[in-house]
Structure 1
Amino acid sequence: MTVEEFEEFYAHAVARLTGQLYVMLGDLHEAQDVVQEAFVKGWNRRRQLDRDGQAEAWIRTVAWRLAVSRWRRRRRTSEAWRRGTVQPAAVEGPGPDHLVLVEAMRDLPQQQRRTLALHYLCDLSVDQVAAETGLSAGTVKTHLSRGRAALAGRIEDPHDPRTARPSSEEAPDA
């Protein structure tokens, strides 16, 4: 089938095929979509369609199969949504210790913050931090050391008697 012959076939058959699929599917928009898609697939096979002499039957069959595939896909999606109604686990907000750490780290230089977070929170080795940040291993170690020193003066450990503040009950008599 030449390009002109296929265009003529399309012009004469599209309305008829759309009507037939509309009756089969009960949805005009769906019928229009699958018939158009079937004609697109038929375009690449126009020479074979001409030899078979069943071009209209081929387009109708392909359109029907496309509609069935769409139904199946929608049904699987719908079932997946129904099955997947499990709510994600609730994530607790940050505790007081985390808030203290974040507040203390805010005052650190950006590279120290990043290095400390990658090493201690993401559990990366010095070499992994160096690879991710593009710094040398020595520079990473320097940032870690300086960052720890800076944080030591800002964060109080309630379990360490050297840094714990006395509570109001333990306050010395004035």
Structure 2
Amino acid sequence: MRRRQRTPATLPPVPPPAAPAEAYAPAPAAPAEAYPAEPLTPAVGDPADLEREAGVARLFELHYSSMLRLAVLLGADDPENVVAEAYYQIYRRWRRLKDVAAAEAYLRSTVCNLTRMRIRHLQVARRHEENPPAPPDETVASAENTALLRDDQRVLIDALQQLPVRQREALVLRHWLGLKESEIAAAMGISCGSVKTHTARGIAALTQVMEARR
């Protein structure tokens, strides 16, 4: 009698050895300082911002009137906007100021530069206009400008406006603001020798204009 040959049973596949538990463990969290979390909202009360706000506000209280008067005397047709722009620029550059105590000098220099640029722009614009506007002495001054110049002799102011820009700046900074030559040089961006030259020429030209009006 033939014995039936048994077919070996198919065994299930042997699973691979289990990986160590640490292989599936979550990676350790990175140190907090490696990926600092960004705040959902901007930091409130940043000391640097608070210092800038307080500094500019203090600068406004102390020097706005004198800066406005400076712009008027230098011949700006829109002195309020000139001074506002000067304060805006110093606000933006406040953190880059090497010496916060020099903010007044920086502000004064900015007013001079902006007024000079404004005057040159108007001169170029008037050359290209068919009907140029009336000269400055015929324009109607704002009430604020009139109040600022009320104590000054109008004849002298009108004569001052006829001087070249650099001579006018030197005289205003020296005789109206009482600055030293070094301070005038810093405000105008020129040397002390050039300050002396512009001042001397301005005095001579102003004297000539005043004598011609008598």
Asked which structure has the greater CA Rg, the reply is: 2
TM-score (norm 2): 0.30
The structure showing larger relative contact order (alpha-carbon pairs under 8 Å, at least 6 residues apart) is 2
TM-score (norm 1): 0.35
Query: More helix per residue: 1 or 2?
Result: 1
